[in-house]
């Protein structure tokens, strides 16, 4: 654990040395500058944030056990023999700073469709859904118990623009993509292995257009995830890639020179 922490710290220091300071100075792209200053790097609070975070606090105190499935590699893994609702929410659910980023991205980009891989307890989907009530969110969760918990959470907050599918990413994602006319925002936060992440990216990128965004979470969760992000950011179809340390944004905008940015956000 100590060695892992040291490696993570080295990666963080390296990122800080390469990243653009807050404020946006030095971003030589009108699109990215506006995205960063008017969407990513703002601290404006919304009323819905409080409602979602109040629910999170309640759930963290829930000691009911959760029997787990073997679908995918989760984030911030905890001992499956000791999993409770509270521990899953505390260690594996989309954290507040990430949820607020999702909300602002949806509000700013106004994607026609949103797909999430890895619902967990539903916090990411709730932030995505509240970003634009006129946009539908389709989220996939492989674990039956987590899918049930997420569904209950959506009902508690009266979130009606989310469709939750309990199934395997490999089976469900192609069906969703086939029935989606225009890809808007895709949030990949499920099976955290290099091979799986690249497979999902390939499937999604084949239907990407000028306005599409594919967001990869936990890009420094492991060396494999970092490798996957490096491959994605170098993909010839990705015109703009943004590294926020914990996650990566891949845009497919046409008519612009390929550019990569390391930008600071949240606790990073």
Torsion of CA 256, 174, 189, 45, to 10 degrees: 70
Strand-strand pairing, 247-251 and 213-217: antiparallel
pLDDT value of residue 190? 87
Sorted by where each starts, the structural domains of the chain and their CATH numbers stand as 2-262 (3.40.50.150)
Q: Which residues of the chain have pLDDT under 70?
A: 1, 68-82
Give the rounded percent of residues in the chain with a pLDDT score beyond 70: 94
Pairing of strands 114-117, 137-141: parallel
pLDDT at 74: 46
Measure CA 230 to chain center.
17
Query: Which residue in 180, 140, 189, 143 sits closest to 163, CA to CA?
Result: 140
Q: What is the pLDDT of residue 32?
A: 97
Output the pTM of the full model.
0.93
> What pLDDT, on a 0 to 100 scale, did the predictor assign at position 7?
82
Residue 233 CA to residue 241 CA, distance in Å, equals 5
Please tell me the predicted confidence (pLDDT) of residue 111.
97
pLDDT at 3: 73
- Three-state SS at 141: strand
Please give the pLDDT value at position 62: 93
Closest by alpha carbon to 92, among 41, 43, 141? 141
Cα–Cα distance between 89 and 86 in angstroms, integer? 5
Beta bridge partners of 216: 188, 248
**Amino acid 69: pLDDT:** 62
């Amino acid at each position: 654990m100590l060695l892992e922490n040291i490696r993570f710290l080295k990666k963080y220091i390296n990122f800080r040395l390469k990243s653009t300071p807050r404020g946006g100075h030095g971003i030589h792209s009108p699109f990215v500058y506006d995205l960063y200053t008017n969407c990513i790097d703002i601290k404006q609070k919304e009323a819905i944030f409080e409602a979602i975070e109040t629910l999170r606090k309640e759930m963290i105190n829930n000691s009911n056990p959760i029997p787990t499935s073997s679908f995918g590699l989760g984030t911030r893994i905890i001992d499956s023999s000791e999993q409770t609702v509270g521990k899953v929410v505390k260690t594996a659910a989309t954290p507040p700073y990430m949820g607020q980023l999702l909300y602002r991205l949806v509000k700013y980009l106004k994607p026609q469709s949103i797909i999430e891989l890895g619902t967990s307890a539903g916090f990411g989907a709730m932030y995505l859904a509240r970003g634009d009530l006129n946009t539908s969110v389709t989220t996939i969760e492989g674990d039956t118990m987590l899918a049930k918990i997420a569904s209950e959470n959506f009902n508690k907050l009266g979130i009606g623009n989310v469709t939750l599918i309990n199934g395997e990413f490999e089976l469900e994602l192609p069906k969703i993509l086939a029935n989606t006319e225009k890809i808007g925002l895709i949030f990949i936060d499920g099976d955290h292995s290099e091979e799986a992440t690249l497979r999902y990216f390939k499937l999604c990128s084949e239907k990407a257009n000028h306005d599409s965004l594919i967001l990869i979470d936990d890009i420094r969760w492991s060396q494999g995830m970092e490798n996957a992000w490096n491959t994605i950011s170098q993909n010839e179809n990705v015109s703009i890639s943004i590294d926020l340390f914990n996650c990566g944004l891949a845009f497919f905008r046409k008519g612009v020179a390929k550019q990569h940015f390391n930008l600071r956000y949240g606790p990073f």
